[in-house]
Amino acid sequence: MVAFRALAQGQFGRFGRARSLDRAAGPQAFSAPYGLVSAAQVCAMQTTRFMHEHRVGQEALAEVALAAYAHAQRNPRAVFHGRPLTRATYHASRWIAEPFHLYDCCQENDGAAAVVITGAERARDLARRPVAILAAAQGIEQGGGIPGFNEPGFPTAHYRQVAKQLWARAGMAPQDVDVAQFYENFTGPVLIALSEMGFCAPGAVEEFVSGGNLQWPSGGLPLNTSGGNLAEGYIHGFELINEAVRQVRGESTCQVKDAELSLAVSGPGYAPGSAVLFAPLA
C-alpha cells in the first residue's frame, strides 16, 4: 500500500490567506464576523492563552523555529537550505498574528511525499532497511473540537488522550524517544503538544526547549531534523513521516546516533490528534 500527500498551492490559492465569505456558517460563525479568519489567528489565540496560563515566554517559540532552520542547513532538499536563521533575525521579523513572528509560521509550497506500507515478511525482502510501525494512536477527549474556543480543555493540542493510548500500546514512555518530528504549522502548538505528549509539564516547557535541547547533535530531543514544515517544506506534515523513518534507517542529514525509537506527531491544535512510533523491524 502507498500512502501519499501532494500539494499544488498555486492551483487552489494560499492556505494562509483569509477568504471572503457571503455568509459565515458553522464554526466560522463564531469567528469570521470578528475578523478571526486565518489559521495563524486561530493558533495564535490558543498559544497566547497557553503562554499566559503557564508563564511561557517568546523565547520558547523562537527555540522551535531556530531548531528547524538549523537542521534545514544540513538538508539539501530543504527550501531554506543555505538560508540560516539567527535569533536576532527571528525577533526582528514582522508580526503575523501575535505571538507569531514571520518565522513562527510554516511555508506555502508545492510538493509531495509518500511511504510504502507492507507486511513484515515482505519488508524483510526489500532492498532498503525496513522500519516497523511500533504503535499508533488517534483520538480526542470528550468535548474536544467544539468550535468557538469552547472546549472543556482549552487550550489544547488534542494530544492528552493520544499520549495515553500511544505509550500504553508501545510499552514505552516519552523519555525512551530518541528523536521526534512534531507538525509545526506554527511554533505555538508544538509547545502545547510537547507537554501533552508527556515530555514535560506545561509550566516547564520553556526550560525543556531552551539551551539547544531541540537541536541535533547535542540536544536531548532533536526535533524536526529535516527542517520540518517551517524550513524543509510544507506537505501537510507528511514529510515528517519520511524523516521519522529516515532516522530509524540511519539516513537522515541530521542523524541521531543509534536512533531506534522515532516519534511523529501530526497536526497539533486540530482535532482529532494522532501520533505514530517507528522502530527497527525485529
Which residues are registered as beta bridge partners of 5? 113
Q: Is 103 a catalytic residue?
A: no
Catalytic residue among 69, 103, 159, 234: 234
Q: How far is CA 271 from the centre of its chain?
A: 14
Q: Which residues contact 255 (CB under 8 A, 6 or more apart)?
A: 216, 225, 247
Q: What angle do CA 276, 110, 75 make, to 5 degrees?
A: 65
Catalytic residue among 90, 103, 159, 183: 183
Q: Is 183 a catalytic residue?
A: yes
- The amino acid present at 151, given as its one-letter code, is E
Q: How far apart are CA 131 and CA 281, in angstroms?
A: 5
| Contact in structure between 130 and 124 (CB atoms under 8 Å) | yes
Active site amino acids? 183, 234
